[in-house]
Amino acid sequence: VNPQEPLHTVCELGSLGFDQGAHLLLQHAIDRVEPGGTIKITGEDRHLTVHLTAWCRQEGHQVQTEPDPDARVRATIVRGTVALDRLHGAERAGGPKPDETVARPPAHWGLAARGALVESGGPDVPFAVADRSIAWSDLAPRLYAHAAAAQWDPATAVPWDADFDLPEEVEDAVVQVMTYLVENEQAALVIPGRLLAQVHPHFREVLQLLAVQAADEARHVEVFTRRALLKGGRMGSSSAGGRASLATLVAEPDFSIASFLLSVLGEGSFWNLLSFLEHHAPDPVSRRITCLARQDEARHVAFGVSHLEHQATVDPSLRFRLRAAVERRHDALIDTAGLNRDVFDALVILAAGSWTPAAIARGYRAVQKLEADMDEGRRQRLARLGFTDGEAAELSALHTRNFM
């Protein structure tokens, strides 16, 4: 080797053959010279020049081999431009950080990682929600991190073996409430799962958050089922009206409206219900599982509110559409009973704790207070989306009697 030549133009392969990964060392050397620059190849592999010639032809580099098999330099390569041409027309899919999303990621970015250099020519993968103003919330990355850190294990986080025995009617009330919770949690599980699949993966923190939200609901379904079955091994009743209410939620195709009805109104009301149950729970298992679920629900509500709050600032028509959705849902449910009567009674019995007239009166008042708290919470969240106090009160009153 001429000592005047810079070292990086020599690629020493030693005994490494192309059947053992020699192309990696070669590519490493080629990357360090400009197109048109030369690289000298040394190496002892018997088939080196044959394999090298084929590889260079495929990669668009010129190659000149040395006929003397004992020469130290076996070939000289001139770097071509084909590899650069391949990435000509490639584009960066935004940047990897949350503040480096683009307003409208194109369909052909598909499942590429945000910030990746995307080679042109891939297939379009259509996602219904590919607009940052609809998909995004600045709170999503932080809420996701919080949610991932707050995952609890149903097997160990709940005192399943706690020793307690409730009066039969109180146990029945608990079973009825748990049965109702499971039904609603299943709606809350299905909806984020469906929404997740609509969002362009460019907004990955939103997908991640919805995935963890679905995982939260999966645990809620599990623990409420397990508590329902804990003593008697039997579930309570499911009313037609309750299921009708949930059916209108699950059927809502629009991402923003579904998120509004579920998270802002439904899960918001559920947060109050879980607080009520935690406070009045007659046993340690019910108390613990409603507490754990309530903490998760607070995140689901926070995401729904923040994401719609953001959207309301960029889309003045949003509030009209949300309002229309509440009215439409109310009209669709007008002939149904709304809340399962058995559930209402079970809530009263739970809060009463015993069968004296005074206790029942106290339980009844507690459930009325719960409904007032739910209404108050809904009105506050509606106000955050820009509704006037009057509109917020009106829309809250139209919310389903099923709570979710």
Residue numbers at the binding site for Fe ion (CB under 5 A): 185, 188, 217, 220, 267, 297, 300
Q: Which is nearer to Fe ion, 101 or 306 (CB)?
A: 306
Q: What is the dihedral of CA 273, 143, 262, 107, to 10 degrees?
A: -170
Q: Which is nearer to Fe ion, 133 or 295 (CB)?
A: 295
Q: Which is nearer to Fe ion, 45 or 216 (CB)?
A: 216
CB of 311 to Fe ion, least distance (A): 20
Q: Closest by alpha carbon to 236, among 279, 181, 275, 281?
A: 181
CB of 404 to Fe ion, least distance (A): 9
The tokens of 248 are what? 């209108």
Q: Which is nearer to Fe ion, 112 or 347 (CB)?
A: 347
CB of 295 to Fe ion, least distance (A): 10
CB of 175 to Fe ion, least distance (A): 18
CB of 403 to Fe ion, least distance (A): 12
In sequence order, which residues have a C-beta less than 8 Å from that of residue 315 and are 6 or more positions away?
Answer: 133
CB of 190 to Fe ion, least distance (A): 11
Q: Which is nearer to Fe ion, 38 or 295 (CB)?
A: 295
Q: Which is nearer to Fe ion, 183 or 267 (CB)?
A: 267
Q: Which is nearer to Fe ion, 48 or 249 (CB)?
A: 249
Query: In 3-state terms, the chain is what percent helix, strand and coil (to 5)?
Result: 60, 5, 35
Q: What is the dihedral of CA 151, 156, 159, 162, to 10 degrees?
A: 170
**Residue 140: half-sphere exposure toward Cβ, Cα within 13 Å:** 24
Q: Which residue has the tokens 């009697």?
A: 401
Q: Are the C-beta atoms of residues 41 and 9 closer than 8 Å to each other?
A: no
The tokens of 327 are what? 């009215």
Q: Which is nearer to Fe ion, 22 or 188 (CB)?
A: 188
- Parallel, antiparallel, or unpaired: how do β-strands 10-12 and 38-42 relate? parallel
CB of 270 to Fe ion, least distance (A): 7
CB of 204 to Fe ion, least distance (A): 21
Of all helices (H) and strands (E), which one includes residue 185?
helix 168-196
388 vs 359: CA distance, rounded Å: 39
**Residue 160: half-sphere exposure toward Cβ, Cα within 13 Å:** 14
Q: Which is nearer to Fe ion, 41 or 212 (CB)?
A: 212
267 vs 253: CA distance, rounded Å: 18
Q: Which residue has the tokens 């559930």?
A: 343
CB of 296 to Fe ion, least distance (A): 6
Helices assigned H by DSSP within 202-352: 204-229, 240-250, 255-259, 268-280, 284-314, 318-332, 341-352
Q: Are the C-beta atoms of residues 196 and 211 closer than 8 Å to each other?
A: yes
